[in-house]
């Protein structure tokens, strides 16, 4: 489905709607709500009508707080919740988008509420899931590798849940795009490539879901996608490397979006790259030499946008259907209105 309005019109809409340039908000939605009990979905939900951001957009609704997996250690209570934003008018079935937020220590599903509304207005059923909450504080009893696998399984559960329930909202389970920001982008790559089994307490049954497209925004392809610098634990870093899970599905569209301003998001690879954490980051390739030969370490630093560009080069050389887009005027923590509009258009057209 092509975007229903031009890029310029979408940018104007973002400005009028007061999105600002902070990349989103973690504040709860302020629309009036009505509590209703659902019959086919396993929870009590809060349903709200969302006011369209412009006259040409579809009317939409949000269903808050669906539980996609049971709670219990090491998950916090809010960890297993997902919001659904969907068209409340028009003809479906609509393609489905499953969204994963960034670092769970800093944000949650409400960070992407405005993105989800814009996508739903263009004819998408959008599931925005919490992930990682509680996992990051459990490392005193669980190994880093096991925590990472647990997060992968949680994200796989959210995708399975969306696949099983999207038809309830007019969505098409045969057209699913995964969209993730920052650490959530790394999780999207793991879900797309890794074939992880969903959690045992997942609210939906079924194996890992085959998706139709992946969209990452300032994700972490090389630096680990984790919650800290595990330089002393190269096995943990290695586990988190998305390209380890490439399965030869070269036809799967992979859209890599990066911010224009990478300031502050880098790791130093000096004074001695041969003994740096990057050198230990992989056990099967000489990553430092490859990065140096491609010109990425000329100043002794590896920036987050360079990590993404390097991944794009590797994917295209391997014959994958990779695409590259720059979010104009945006920083990792603050997206411009134009940068956000570029992401929305990329997600809308991700399947090609």
CATH number, position 102? 3.40.50.1820
Which of 189, 97, 204, 114 minimizes the C-alpha distance to 157? 204
Per the domain annotation, does 280 fall within a domain? Answer: no
Per the domain annotation, does 212 fall within a domain? Answer: yes
Per the domain annotation, does 67 fall within a domain? Answer: yes
If DSSP codes are grouped into helix, strand and coil, which group holds residue 61?
A: strand
CB atoms within 10 A of CB 310: 18
Domain count, the chain: 1
Per the domain annotation, does 325 fall within a domain? Answer: yes
Predicted local confidence at residue 11, as pLDDT: 29
Predicted local confidence at residue 15, as pLDDT: 28
Predicted local confidence at residue 49, as pLDDT: 66
Per the domain annotation, does 277 fall within a domain? Answer: no
Per the domain annotation, does 295 fall within a domain? Answer: no
Residues 288-303 as b/e (b if ≥16 CB within 10 A, e otherwise) read beebeeeebbeeeebb
Helices 7-16 and 337-348 cross at an angle (nearest 10°) of 130
CA dihedral sign of residues 281, 284, 287, 289: positive
Helices 144-165 and 183-193 cross at an angle (nearest 10°) of 70
Do the beta carbons of residue 155 and residue 68 sit within 8 Å? no
pLDDT in tens for each of the 352 residues of the chain?
222 223 223 322 332 332 322 333 333 332 222 222 233 444 444 566 666 677 678 999 999 999 999 988 788 888 899 999 999 998 889 999 999 999 888 889 999 999 999 999 999 999 999 998 887 665 566 677 788 888 899 999 999 999 999 999 999 999 999 999 998 998 998 888 877 889 989 999 877 788 999 999 998 776 654 434 444 566 666 677 776 777 667 889 999 999 999 888 877 776 565 555 565 555 566 777 888 889 988 888 888 888 899 889 988 888 889 999 999 999 999 999 999 999 999 999 999 8
- Separation between Cα atoms, residue 213 and residue 279, nearest integer Å: 31
Spatial neighbors of 82 by CB under 8 A, at least 6 apart, are: 66, 67, 68, 109, 127, 128, 129, 130, 158, 161, 162
The three-point CA angle 336-84-116 to 5° equals: 15
Predicted local confidence at residue 77, as pLDDT: 80
Residue 173, token pair as written in the block: 């389970």
Per the domain annotation, does 282 fall within a domain? Answer: no
Predicted local confidence at residue 148, as pLDDT: 81
Predicted local confidence at residue 10, as pLDDT: 31
If DSSP codes are grouped into helix, strand and coil, which group holds residue 44?
A: strand
Which of 72, 69, 66 minimizes the C-alpha distance to 40? 66
Alpha-helical segments (H) within the chain: 7-16, 113-121, 144-165, 183-193, 234-239, 277-280, 287-293, 304-317, 337-348
- Separation between Cα atoms, residue 242 and residue 38, nearest integer Å: 37
This prediction has a pTM of 0.82
Task: Give the domain extent around 73.
Answer: 7-21+31-263+305-348
Per the domain annotation, does 151 fall within a domain? Answer: yes
């Amino acid at each position: 489905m092509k975007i229903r309005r031009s890029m310029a019109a979408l940018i104007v809409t973002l400005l009028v709607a007061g999105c600002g340039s902070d990349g989103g908000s973690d504040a709860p939605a302020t629309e009036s709500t009505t509590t209703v009990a659902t019959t086919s979905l396993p929870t009590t939900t809060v349903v709200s009508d969302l006011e369209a951001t412009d006259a040409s957009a579809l009317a939409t609704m949000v269903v808050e707080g669906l539980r996609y997996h049971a709670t219990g250690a090491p998950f916090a209570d809010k960890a297993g919740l997902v919001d659904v934003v969907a068209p409340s008018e028009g003809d479906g079935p609509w393609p489905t988008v499953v969204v994963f937020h960034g670092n769970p220590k800093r944000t949650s599903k409400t960070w992407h509420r405005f993105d989800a509304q814009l996508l739903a207005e263009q004819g998408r059923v959008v599931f925005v899931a919490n992930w990682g909450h509680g996992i990051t504080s459990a490392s005193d009893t669980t190994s880093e590798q096991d925590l990472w696998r647990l997060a992968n399984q949680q994200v796989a559960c959210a995708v399975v849940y969306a696949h099983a329930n999207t038809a309830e909202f007019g969505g098409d389970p045969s057209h699913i795009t995964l969209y993730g920001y920052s650490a959530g982008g790394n999780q999207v790559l793991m879900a797309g490539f890794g074939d992880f089994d969903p959690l045992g307490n997942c609210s939906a049954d079924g194996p890992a879901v085959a998706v139709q497209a992946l969209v990452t925004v300032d994700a972490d392809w090389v630096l680990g996608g984790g919650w800290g610098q595990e330089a002393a634990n190269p096995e943990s870093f290695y586990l988190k490397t998305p390209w380890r899970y490439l399965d030869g599905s070269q036809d799967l569209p992979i859209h890599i979006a990066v911010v224009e301003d990478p300031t502050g998001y880098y790791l130093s690879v000096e004074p001695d790259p041969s003994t740096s954490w990057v050198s230990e980051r992989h056990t099967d390739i000489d990553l430092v030499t490859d990065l140096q030969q491609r010109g990425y370490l000329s100043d002794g630093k590896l920036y987050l946008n360079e990590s993404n560009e390097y991944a794009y080069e590797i994917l295209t050389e391997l014959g994958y259907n990779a695409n590259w887009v720059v979010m104009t005027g945006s920083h990792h923590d603050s997206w411009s209105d134009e940068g956000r509009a570029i992401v929305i258009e990329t997600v809308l057209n991700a399947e090609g």
